[in-house]
Amino acid sequence: MTKFRWLILFGPLVLFAGLVLFLLKGLGSDPTELDSALVDDPVPQFQAKDLYDTDITYDQSVLHDGPLLMNVWATWCPTCRAEHEFLNELAAKGIPIVGLNYKDDSREKAVNWLNTLGDPYTVNLFDPEGEIAFDFGVYGAPETYFIDHKGVIRYRHVGDVNERNWSNKLQGIYQQLVEEAK
């Protein structure tokens, strides 16, 4: 009976504390950042033209020589402009980044952007209708996919890649993929 009494007295308190912790966790998370449905799935099949030279066509095999990043970008996207300089830095460090130009206003604009701001991408995929991006579950730009050496999507980052989130989280994810490939 005394045990039961303790349960009545402190049970609600414990439940309340649990609820507070649960809600506190929710407070810090961004509801617009969704986990990709494709995590742990191989990259979807696609056919894409080269952004510079539309006579060249690529398929999903360009994403099979990982670990690599695939960055979804467009010239109409201000956050893409903000992260571009940092992508250049990553590329200079030798990190392979495939660019997916997503529903851009025009191909000329995109090419012009890369010519003036620098081109951090090893391959430039051109997706004017957003069909490839649709199969990746892209819902905005920029998004960055982390793809391992088997061509499997392992992580999706929504929003810009910058020095802070790279050193805090993303670099670790990339390093792990590099380790796995050895």
Partner 1 sequence: MIRTPLLALMTAFLMVSFVSAEDENTRQFENEQQHETYRQLIKELRCPKCQNQNIADSNAPLAEDMRDRTYQMLKEGKSREEIINFMIARYGEFVHYQPPFTKVTSILWWGPLLILVIGVGTAIALTRKKKAVAELTQDERERLEQLRKSRDE
Contact between 75 and 104 (Cβ < 8 Å): yes
Contact between 46 and partner 1 by CB under 8 A: the answer reads: no
Contact between 75 and partner 1 by CB under 8 A: the answer reads: no
d(CA 103, CA 75): 9
Interface residue with partner 1, options 26, 28, 31, 94 (CB under 8 A): 31
* Joined tokens for residue 54: 């539309």
**Minimum CB–partner distance for residue 136 and partner 1 (Å):** 7
Phi, psi of 12 (to 5 degrees): -60, -35
**Minimum CB–partner distance for residue 57 and partner 1 (Å):** 22
Is the CB of 31 or the CB of 94 nearer to partner 1? Answer: 31
Contact between 8 and partner 1 by CB under 8 A: the answer reads: yes
Contacts of partner 1 in 79-138 (CB under 8 A): 103, 130, 134-137
Interface residue with partner 1, options 6, 27, 30, 32 (CB under 8 A): 32
**Minimum CB–partner distance for residue 31 and partner 1 (Å):** 7
The residue range among 36-44, 54-62, 77-85, 106-114 that interacts with partner 1, by the rule CB under 8 A, is: 36-44
Contact between 35 and partner 1 by CB under 8 A: the answer reads: yes
